[in-house]
């Protein structure tokens, strides 16, 4: 009888331990989900990143995207980012993704398609086929560069995030101009400015601006007027200006990097946090 009672106690003890273990595992999974939700949402991922919950497990933290980026825009998250530790992200204020690599090399080199190149490849190839259909003699035109045309179409498909304006500090909204170099002395960011006639990425502060109304976020955007425009309105005989972000915004971050106010007046909200198109902070 005593042996039977001992067996029953052991069984109940084992069952209790198993129950507590399952509860701990459940709590641990819940905690990891909370960590995942909290540490990833603020990170601006490189082009082609899958939805965050898929990206975080598809990324093997190999760092190839960091090595291949010609402007050093891609960094690896440090240990403070918990589950995102070792995964790639972009700090647009420090170094934007300016598309000067041409072919979205970070996505091409990703071995697990955590950064998915295939959708861009399909878009680029389809664009070339359509263009040649409309222009049968395209390849006889010395001005036609199929690689550049394809790359441009691919760039426009990128959706890393979207720019948001802070009107309270925006120089254009205040009716102010800008004269000089955009960033503080010693700033090391680079970008390729088609508007300035660059052939390759150059230091941000190699560009000197003289604008009656500040419009750097508009003129330096690598995508152009499908992404951001300067909206002008007249009220009581006075002109008012406001950068307007459009659906073509890729979230590349060039506007944030070149914004000359001490705290950027236009910033990129990562796609994980997007609740509406464009708008204001």
Give residue for tokens 């390729």. Answer: 192
Lowest mean pLDDT among 62-66, 193-197, 208-212, 277-281: 277-281
pLDDT of residue 225 exceeding 90, the answer is: yes
Which has more pLDDT, 7 or 43?
A: 43
* Residue 177: predicted pLDDT: 98
* Residue 77: predicted pLDDT: 94
* Residue 207: predicted pLDDT: 96
pLDDT of residue 21 exceeding 50, the answer is: no
Nearest in space to 118 (alpha carbons), one of 66, 154, 164, 163: 154
Give residue for tokens 């760092």. Answer: 63
* Residue 261: predicted pLDDT: 98
Whole-Å CA distances, 126 to 120, 133, 153: 10, 11, 10
This prediction has a pTM of: 0.81
Question: Which structure tokens are listed for 20?
Answer: 């507590």
Q: Please, what sign has the CA dihedral across residues 136, 142, 148, 149?
A: negative
* Residue 253: predicted pLDDT: 98
pLDDT digits (tens, 9 = 90+) for 51-78: 998 999 899 999 999 999 999 999 999 9
* Residue 252: predicted pLDDT: 98
* Residue 131: predicted pLDDT: 87
Query: pLDDT band at residue 81, thresholds of 50, 70 and 90?
Result: confident
Whole-Å CA distances, 266 to 78, 80, 167, 205, 274: 25, 26, 9, 18, 15
Query: pLDDT band at residue 238, thresholds of 50, 70 and 90?
Result: confident
pLDDT digits (tens, 9 = 90+) for 136-183: 898 889 888 888 888 899 999 999 999 999 999 999 999 999 999 999
**Residue 207: strand pairing partners:** none
Residue-averaged pLDDT of the chain: 86
Q: Which of 29-43, 47-61, 244-258 has the highest mean pLDDT?
A: 244-258
* Residue 146: predicted pLDDT: 85
């Amino acid at each position: 009888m005593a042996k039977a009672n001992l067996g029953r106690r052991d069984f109940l003890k084992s069952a209790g331990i198993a129950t507590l273990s399952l509860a701990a595992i459940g709590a641990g999974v819940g905690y990891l989900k909370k960590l995942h939700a909290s540490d990833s949402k603020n990170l601006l991922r490189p082009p082609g990143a899958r939805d965050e919950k898929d990206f975080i497990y598809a990324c093997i933290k190999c760092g190839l995207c960091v090595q291949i980026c010609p402007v050093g825009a891609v960094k690896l998250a440090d240990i403070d980012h918990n589950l995102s530790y070792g995964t790639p992200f972009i700090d647009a204020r420090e170094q934007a993704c300016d598309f000067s690599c041409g072919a979205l090399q970070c996505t091409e080199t990703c071995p697990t398609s955590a950064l998915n190149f295939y959708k861009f490849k399909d878009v680029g190839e389809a664009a070339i086929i359509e263009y040649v259909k409309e222009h049968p003699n395209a390849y006889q035109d010395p001005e036609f560069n199929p690689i550049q045309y394809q790359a441009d179409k691919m760039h426009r498909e990128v959706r890393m995030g979207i720019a948001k304006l802070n009107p309270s500090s925006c120089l254009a909204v205040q009716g102010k101009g800008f004269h000089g170099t955009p960033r503080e002395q010693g700033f090391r960011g680079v970008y390729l400015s088609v508007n300035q006639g660059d052939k390759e990425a150059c230091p941000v502060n190699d560009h000197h601006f003289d604008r009656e109304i500040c419009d750097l976020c508009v003129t330096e955007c690598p995508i152009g007027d499908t992404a951001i425009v300067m909206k002008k309105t007249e009220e009581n005989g006075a002109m008012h200006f406001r950068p307007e972000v459009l659906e073509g915004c890729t979230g590349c971050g060039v506007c944030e990097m070149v914004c000359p106010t001490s705290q950027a007046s236009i910033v990129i909200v990562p796609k994980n946090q997007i609740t509406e198109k464009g708008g204001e902070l």
